[in-house]
Amino acid sequence: MIDLHCHLLHGLDDGPDSLEESLQLCRIAAADGITHAIVTPHIHPGRWDNTRKSIELGYDNLRRKLDQNNIPLQLGFAAEVRVTDQLMQQVADSDLPYYGEVEGYKVLLLEFPHSHLVPGSEKLFEWLLHRGIRPLVAHPERNRQVMKNASQLQPFIDAGCWLQVTAGSVTGLFGEKPMAIAHQLLQEGRVKVLASDGHNAAARPPVLGEAYEYIAQSYGEERARQLMLDAPAMIAAAQI
Ligand SMILES: [Fe+2]
């Protein structure tokens, strides 16, 4: 399996605090059957001021440590970029790490605040698509506005955005409502990819295996493979 969204680099955000914890998370991912992890530290201006460079440095360091410790996990890097009024400037500054390119569009992982969908962001996303950037919306099923009414996502889907649902939401890790929305989106065929969004070993480990089994049983093996292997492999092809 390929995990397209996880926080495995230490000291950059609310992921692991130390290199040891970082390595522990990578061992957990590898033992779960994840062969490739694309690390996605937060870029959230004023809170986590990461840049392409700071993420690349952390990624290079962790990659070396994985080799030295014989941990069988291949890494790539992107970022989970918060939707703020600075996004247009960040795009103009070319400071954002994309996954790679699919059908002529660079794919960018974007995160809304958990409380709501930012007003006007449909227009912002159209602006991005116009510039050859396809938003991959992180964990919409955990957004409170979407939890009230999943049809709020329709304008984004119509505009051409892709959706990434969290593996733990599918199995109920985040409670009933995100689970219900996750399955509604799955049943409607609107989910592009499932990812762990792993942050730590105890509460939010970087694992996909349980969700893979669940999806395989409920929707068929082919669907599980599509969501956790084929689609992430296509999106991050340049890094795999
Ligand atoms: Fe995340």
Tens of pLDDT, residue by residue over 198-239, are 999 999 999 999 999 999 999 999 999 999 999 999 999 999
CA distances from 236 to 167, 220, 231, 240 (A): 18, 24, 9, 6
> What's 162's DSSP letter?
E
| Domain locations in the chain as residue ranges | 2-239
Distance between CA atoms of 136 and 205, rounded to whole angstroms? 21
**φ, ψ at 34 (rounded to 5°):** -85, 125
Q: Report the C-alpha gap between 233 and 168 in whole angstroms.
A: 20
Distance of CA 151 to the CA centre of its chain: 21
Which pLDDT band, with edges at 50, 70 and 90, does 89 fall under?
Answer: very high
Q: What are phi and psi of 142, to 5 degrees?
A: -105, 5
The mean of the pLDDT values for the chain is 97
Give the class (CATH, top level) of 2-239.
Answer: alpha beta
Q: What is the pLDDT of residues 7-65, one digit of tens each?
A: 999 999 999 999 999 999 999 999 999 999 999 999 999 999 999 999 999 999 999 99
With 0-12 CB in 10 A as exposed, 13-18 as middle and 19+ as buried, what is 178? buried
Ligand 1 centre from 140 Cα, in Å?
A: 11
Q: How far is the CA of 187 from the centre of ligand 1 (A)?
A: 23
pLDDT at position 201: 97
How many angstroms separate the alpha carbon of residue 159 from the centre of ligand 1? Answer: 23
- Confidence at residue 64, expressed as pLDDT on a 0 to 100 scale: 98
β-partners of residue 162 are 136
Find the helix packing angle between 52-68 and 19-31, rounded to 10°: 70
Expressed in angstroms and rounded, the spacing between residue 208 Cα and the centre of ligand 1 is 14
Residue 81's pLDDT band, with cuts at 50, 70 and 90, is very high
Among residues of the chain, what percentage have pLDDT more than 90?
Answer: 98
* Rounded distance from Cα 15 to ligand 1 centre (Å): 9
pLDDT tier for residue 95 given thresholds of 50, 70 and 90: confident
Distance CA 231, CA 224 (A): 10
Q: If phi over 0 gives left and psi between -120 and 50 gives alpha, with beta otherwise, what is residue 35?
A: alpha
Percent of the chain with pLDDT strictly greater than 70? 100
Please tell me the distance between residue 14's alpha carbon and the centre of ligand 1 in angstroms. 9
What phi and psi values does residue 160 have, to the nearest 5 degrees?
Answer: 115, 10
Q: For residue range 64-73, what is the model confidence (pLDDT) as tens digits?
A: 999 999 999 9
- Long-range pairs, 181-187, Cβ under 8 A, ≥24: 181/140, 181/141, 181/146, 181/147, 181/150, 182/141, 184/150, 185/140, 185/141, 185/150, 185/153, 186/215, 186/219, 186/223
Residue 94: the pLDDT is 87
Ligand 1 centre to CA of 67 (Å) is: 25
* Cα(50)–Cα(69) distance, integer angstroms: 26
